[in-house]
Structure 1
């Protein structure tokens, strides 16, 4: 399972690189035909990861509930983030895979409430959730790459 956490680190590194290569204005821009922006996609993967790895294992999430409410599934991008929000997001994107690794090895995530994903995949344990999360984050990395091609400035 540890190799899947390594893959998560690699996906996160690419997301962080994209965040670092753009201005906040560019990260918050929502192109015509889209419902969200680069910032939202990066924050959404963090919110989802926390929900499926921590909330569903009845552990304390590493982000607050307000963050989850703003970036969970079914929400849309907005332009209200600040430079401070961006710095915090990057820090959390970097640190949470390491914490996941520690918590997994310590067996803190072994109790799991089942979840049926929007793709019809049933997550029955933390191992399923770790693998699925990588699929989800890679998909949103693809969205980020598409969005960046549609930023006119």
Structure 2
């Protein structure tokens, strides 16, 4: 688990660097042939991580629930993004993952509701979430890196 968490924190820091290096317009731009933006992908990762770890464990999310509505599964990316949302995600992206790692090692995720992901992977316990989260992060990091080259 340690290497997966180390990679997750590293990825979040890399994504934060991208958020900090791009202008507002570049972050929210949805290029032709894409369905979402750099910002949406990063915000979606934070929201999904919170839902998978905390909600499936029956715990309160450690982020604003409005972020779930805007950037969770099934949400639609828009180029009309509140600048405050960008700042919120920047502030919480790395910190939330670091807190999740701490919570994992402190045994906070003791209860768990099994969940079938939209990719057909069943999550039966918190260790499955750690692995799936790394897979999910990789998908969206790849999209962000592609978008970074275009915008």
Determine if the TM-score, normalized by the shorter chain, exceeds 0.5. yes
Q: CA deviation at 1:119?
A: 1.8
Query: Residue 118 in 1 paired to residue 118 in 2?
Result: yes
Which residue of the partner structure matches residue 34 of structure 2?
34
For 1:10 and 1:114, the matched residues in 2 are separated by: 27
How many residues align? The count is: 151
For 1:82 and 1:59, the matched residues in 2 are separated by 28
Instruction: Quote the offset at 1:85 in angstroms.
Output: 2.2
**2:107 paired residue number:** 107
Query: Partner of 2:35: helix, strand, or coil?
Result: coil
Measured against aligned partners, the alpha-carbon deviations of 1:38-82 in whole angstroms (never above 9, x if no partner) come to: 000000000100000000001110112211011111112112334
Q: Which residue of 2 aligns with 1:79?
A: 79
Where does the alignment leave 5 or more consecutive residues of structure 2 unmatched? none
The TM-score with structure 1 as length reference comes to 0.93
**Which residue is equivalent to 1:61?**
61
CA distance, structure 1, for counterparts of residue 42 and residue 50 of structure 2: 13
Give 1:84 shift: 2.9
TM-score (norm 2): 0.94
How far is 1:120 from its partner? 1.2
* d(CA) in 2 for partners of 1:125, 1:80: 37
- Residue 49 of structure 2 is matched in structure 1 by 49
Alignment partner, residue 149 of structure 1? 149
SS at 1:89 equivalent: helix
Separation in 2, partners of 1:82, 1:7? 29
CA distance in 2, matches of 1:64, 1:58: 16
Distance 2:144 2:16 in 1: 11
In the TM superposition, structure 1's runs of 4+ consecutive aligned residues that sit over 6 Å from their partners are: none
Question: Any conservation in 2 of the 1:115–1:124 contact (CA below 8 Å)?
Answer: yes
Cα RMSD of the aligned pairs, angstroms, is 1.2
> Equivalent residue for 1:89?
89
